[in-house]
């Protein structure tokens, strides 16, 4: 439903493995980046070429406008084959995917740092300073900048491993974005690989979130939309997770002016109402999203990945036990909520069910949130 790029270390390993396994002299072809909203997909594959220092070339295809581009390795590339391929894939992203004006995924006139080299530089500078807890800090580095002015995105790395188990990296990246006027912290949420791979993946996520991922519009479902969904899923709690959890609807109460409609909890069709300012564990936020052009091609009742919810700039895990005393995240009053392109980690991917022209999340994502809180976020209209 938005622009996304794949995990490059994992992609590089799959390309190299399939190249060595296939007798055809070509690797399998994989998606490098895609923009669902525009119907554009960038795919990459390797082709054996003994004239190249690495023994192969990288073919890049851009689907959606018929363009085809081939990127060759330069002859002076040496070192670990996976790291070499990651470096070239990053060049493909920079020159083919993010090239201005050829692509609309980034703001105009934005230059991007070479992400593998940036990750290595941040790691090598750890210990530049230390914070009050003794955690190691790197220097400040430029991730992206606008060509015609001083605005840009600066990043620094913090290593919190001193207080964690040996198998936990504990990295976090501070992102200061003068283009958008924001400051955020991105934390390592279980990335695999070497320190270089982990920091690279974190920089990749930060780049997409800061520059590529425009917020995804969301709202509360209406009373009638919920009933339409129950018709489609035959009131299945397994699919729609309505049991033991109310959720807010857009509708006002027909009895009390200060109350708003809630659905769920006791039965699929249960209707109730709560005071609009009330926060408690029994009532949650279940968003609805407008269907994009590409989503019209799927049938009603289909599960679609709708995006990732961010609270205060941090991604929110999708609950695995979405009931009032389960693992639904608590809303932090006054904290900004926004929906962005889905992260690669399924733990943060919101699943929504298509019903007519909208998608309704298959569970509540937050609890302890009032109807007025949702209005303040611009996710609900106050009549």
35 in a structural domain:
yes
CA distance 220 to 276: 13
| Pair (77, 159) in one structural domain | no
95 in a structural domain:
yes
The pLDDT score that the predictor gives to residue 246 is 97
324 in a structural domain:
yes
Kindly state the greatest CA–CA separation across the chain: 79
Give pLDDT tens digits for 91-146: 677 666 654 333 334 444 567 777 778 888 999 998 777 765 667 889 899 988 87
Out of 105, 126, 151, a domain closes at: 105
CA distance 362 to 87: 39
46 in a structural domain:
yes
**Pick from 302, 80, 86, 115: which is nearest to 202 by CA?**
115
The counts of H helices and E strands in the chain are 7, 24
Mean pLDDT of 34-57: 75
Q: What is the mean pLDDT of the chain?
A: 80
pLDDT exceeds 70 at position 16: yes
Whole-number percent of the chain with pLDDT over 90? 30
pLDDT exceeds 60 at position 309: yes
**Mutual angle of helices 8-21 and 195-207, in 10-degree steps:** 120
pLDDT exceeds 90 at position 321: yes
Domain extent, residue 72, equals 1-105
| Pair (322, 244) in one structural domain | yes
Give the SS3 label for residue 256.
Answer: coil
| Pair (345, 242) in one structural domain | yes
| Pair (299, 229) in one structural domain | yes
| Pair (49, 83) in one structural domain | yes
Give pLDDT tens digits for 233-248: 999 999 999 999 999 9
**Pick from 172, 209, 174, 208: which is nearest to 191 by CA?**
172
Question: Using the 8-state DSSP alphabet, how is residue 132 labeled?
Answer: T
| Pair (100, 180) in one structural domain | no
Give pLDDT tens digits for 166-207: 445 578 899 988 876 778 888 776 666 678 878 887 887 787
Q: How many residues does the chain have?
A: 383
| Pair (62, 172) in one structural domain | no
Phi, psi dihedral angles at 97 (to 5 degrees): -85, -45
Per mean pLDDT, which range of 29-33, 72-76, 340-344 is the poorest? Answer: 72-76
The pLDDT score that the predictor gives to residue 327 is 95
Number of Cα atoms under 13 Å in the Cβ half of residue 98: 24
| Pair (347, 251) in one structural domain | yes
Give pLDDT tens digits for 253-302: 777 778 899 999 999 999 889 999 999 999 999 999 887 544 455 789 99
State the pTM of this model: 0.51
**Pick from 38, 34, 30, 39: which is nearest to 9 by CA?**
30
**Pick from 296, 191, 301: which is nearest to 235 by CA?**
301
| Pair (353, 242) in one structural domain | yes
Structure token digits, residue 317: 């895990």
CA distance 138 to 140: 7
Residue 75: band (very low, low, confident or very high) from pLDDT cuts 50, 70, 90: very low
Q: What is the CA radius of gyration of the chain?
A: 23
CA distance 203 to 212: 13
Kindly list the distances between the CA atom of residue 54 and the CA atoms of 73, 76, 363, in Å, as whole numbers in the listed order: 7, 9, 48
229 in a structural domain:
yes
Between CA 54 and CA 65, with CA 59 as vertex, the angle to 5 degrees is 165
Secondary structure in 3-state letters for 99-118 = CCCCCCCCCCCEEECCHHHH
The pLDDT score that the predictor gives to residue 293 is 43
Look up tokens 């999203």; give the residue: 289
340 in a structural domain:
yes
| Pair (33, 119) in one structural domain | no
The pLDDT score that the predictor gives to residue 106 is 47
| Pair (331, 260) in one structural domain | yes
Residue 274 β-bridge partners: 260
Number of domains in the chain: 3
pLDDT exceeds 80 at position 82: no
| Pair (52, 114) in one structural domain | no
Out of 88, 105, 122, a domain closes at: 105
CA distance 266 to 239: 16
Out of 74, 105, 136, a domain closes at: 105
The pLDDT score that the predictor gives to residue 266 is 94
**Pick from 242, 235, 232: which is nearest to 361 by CA?**
242
Mean pLDDT of 327-345: 86
Kindly list the distances between the CA atom of residue 125 and the CA atoms of 114, 122, 133, 158, 310, in Å, as whole numbers in the listed order: 17, 5, 18, 10, 30
11: left (phi over 0), alpha (psi -120 to 50) or beta: alpha
Structure token digits, residue 371: 């109807």
The pLDDT score that the predictor gives to residue 166 is 44
Neighbours of 231 (CB within 10 A): 12
The pLDDT score that the predictor gives to residue 310 is 87
119 in a structural domain:
yes
Mean pLDDT of 8-24: 84
pLDDT exceeds 90 at position 374: yes
Q: Sign of the C-alpha dihedral, residues 224, 226, 231, 232?
A: positive
218 in a structural domain:
no
Structure token digits, residue 241: 């997770």
């Amino acid at each position: 439903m938005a622009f996304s790029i794949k995990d490059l270390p994992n992609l590089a390993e799959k390309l190299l493995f399939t190249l060595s396994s296939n007798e055809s002299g070509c690797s399998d072809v994989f998606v490098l980046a895609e923009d669902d909203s525009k119907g554009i997909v960038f795919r990459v594959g390797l082709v054996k070429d003994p004239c190249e220092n690495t023994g192969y070339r990288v073919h890049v295809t851009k689907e959606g406008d018929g363009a085809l581009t081939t990127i060759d390795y330069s002859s002076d590339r040496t070192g670990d084959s996976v790291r070499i391929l990651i470096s070239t894939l990053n060049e493909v992203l920079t020159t083919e995917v993010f090239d201005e004006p050829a692509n609309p995924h980034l703001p105009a006139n934005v230059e991007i740092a070479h992400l593998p080299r940036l990750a290595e530089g941040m790691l090598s500078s750890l210990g530049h300073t230390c914070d009050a807890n003794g955690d190691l800090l790197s220097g400040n580095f430029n991730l992206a900048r606008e060509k015609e002015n001083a605005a840009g995105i600066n990043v620094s790395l913090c290593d919190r491993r001193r207080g964690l188990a040996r198998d936990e990296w504990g990295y976090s990246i501070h992102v200061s974005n003068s283009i958008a006027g924001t400051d955020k912290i991105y934390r390592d949420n279980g990335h695999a690989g070497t320190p270089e791979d982990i920091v690279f993946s974190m920089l990749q996520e930060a780049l997409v979130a800061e520059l590529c991922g425009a917020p995804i519009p969301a709202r509360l479902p209406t009373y009638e939309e919920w009933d339409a969904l129950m018709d489609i899923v035959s009131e299945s709690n397994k699919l729609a997770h309505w049991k033991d959890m109310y959720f807010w609807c857009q509708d006002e109460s027909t009895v009390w002016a200060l109350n708003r409609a809630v659905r769920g909890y006791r039965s699929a069709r249960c209707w109730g109402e709560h005071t609009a300012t009330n926060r408690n564990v029994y009532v949650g936020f279940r968003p609805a999203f407008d269907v994009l052009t590409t989503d019209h091609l799927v049938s009603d009742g289909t599960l679609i990945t709708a995006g990732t919810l961010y609270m205060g700039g941090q991604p929110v895990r999708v609950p695995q036990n979405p009931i009032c005393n389960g693992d639904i995240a608590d809303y932090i009053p006054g904290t900004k909520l926004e929906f962005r392109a889905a992260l690669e980690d399924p733990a943060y991917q919101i699943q929504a069910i298509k019903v007519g022209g909208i998608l309704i999340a298959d569970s509540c994502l937050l609890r302890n949130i009032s109807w007025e809180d949702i209005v303040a976020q611009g996710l609900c209209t106050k009549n």
